[in-house]
Amino acid sequence: MQIDPDLCIGCGQCLPYCPVNAITLEEDISQIDLDECAECGNCLRNAHCPVDAIYQQDLAWPRIVRSILSDVLTIAVESGISGRGTEEMKTNEVTGRFKFGFAGIAIEVGRPVLGARLYDVEKIAQAVASLNVEFEKNNPVTSMMSDPKTGKFKNELINEKVLSAIIEFVVKLEQLPELFRILEKVAAKIETVFSLDVATRICSDGRVPTSPYIEGAGLWIAPNGKTNVGLGRPLYQEK
């Protein structure tokens, strides 16, 4: 995103709309630090600049990935939906993506608030790749890897800044303790935060198959989360 210095009147109205504080007032003119800007579009859409000084410049590769992973209204080619991720558990009753005995994992790097450089996303992806996971093909983050087997990203991307990047894959339930150990180690090596999601089928008696593994690792589980209530059709028939 950019601000036309010839139009800007220095009112500062755009400053609080930047989630990564990339906009500053310099000599009574708003300026955007392009290295920090994640191209989320929030200032352009919501600051209501009184002189229309904010404008979207052409985004070429590799900068375009900032918009793909930061602008909520950008449609990712891989998933066909807006946002950074995929249908994941939201349509699980019709896709059968996450089956009994398995857990769907999403590592939301940069959430909340801080954003992330892709080199930190790569560190985490490379760490979990040691479990021989297959990264979700429909997730745009997987397309940014030069080698999805190792989690290595394309070299030209690793310094790009995004609001969040979601690493998605499936593990067997018994792999969860090792995954948690890996994540604890790599969490100490990154500059940002990540939020961790674990998706699972619910047993017919209401039991949650992942909970013993999570509690066994001494980890906290939020009392709130997402529940797919099974209304999609046709229903996937799990063998």
- Scan residues 204-233 and list those touching another protein (CB under 8 A): 204, 206, 208, 210-211, 214, 219-233
Interface residue with another protein among 46, 57, 146, 159 (CB under 8 A) is 46
- Give me the least distance between CB of 132 and another protein, in Å please: 22
Site for another protein in 98-127 (CB under 8 A): 98, 104, 106, 108, 111-115
Indicate the SS3 state at residue 181: helix
Nearer to another protein, 19 or 62 (CB): 19
CA 161 to chain centre: 12
Q: How many residues bind another protein (CB under 8 A)?
A: 81
Closer of 130 and 146 to another protein (Cβ): 130
Q: How many other CB atoms are there within 10 angstroms of residue 229's CB atom? A: 6
Question: Is the Cβ–Cβ distance between 115 and 163 less than 8 Å?
Answer: yes
Nearer residue to another protein within complex by CB, 155 or 204: 204
CB of 6 vs another protein, minimal distance in Å:
26
100 φ/ψ angles, rounded to the nearest 5 degrees: -60, 140
Q: In the bound complex, what is the minimum distance in angstroms from residue 16's beta carbon to another protein?
A: 4
If DSSP codes are grouped into helix, strand and coil, which group holds residue 33? coil
Q: To the nearest whole angstrom, how small is the minimum distance from the Cβ of residue 179 to another protein?
A: 11
Cβ proximity to another protein: between 18 and 54 the closer is 18
Mapped onto helix, strand or coil, the DSSP state of residue 25 is strand
Residues 169-188 that bind another protein (CB under 8 A): 183-184, 187-188
Which listed residue (197, 205, 207, 218) binds another protein by CB under 8 A? 197
Q: At what angle do helices 118-129 and 176-187 cross, to 10 degrees?
A: 150
- Single-letter residue type at 44: L
The Cα 88–Cα 98 span in angstroms is 8
Comparing CA positions, the residue from 121, 112, 106 lying closest to residue 159 is 121
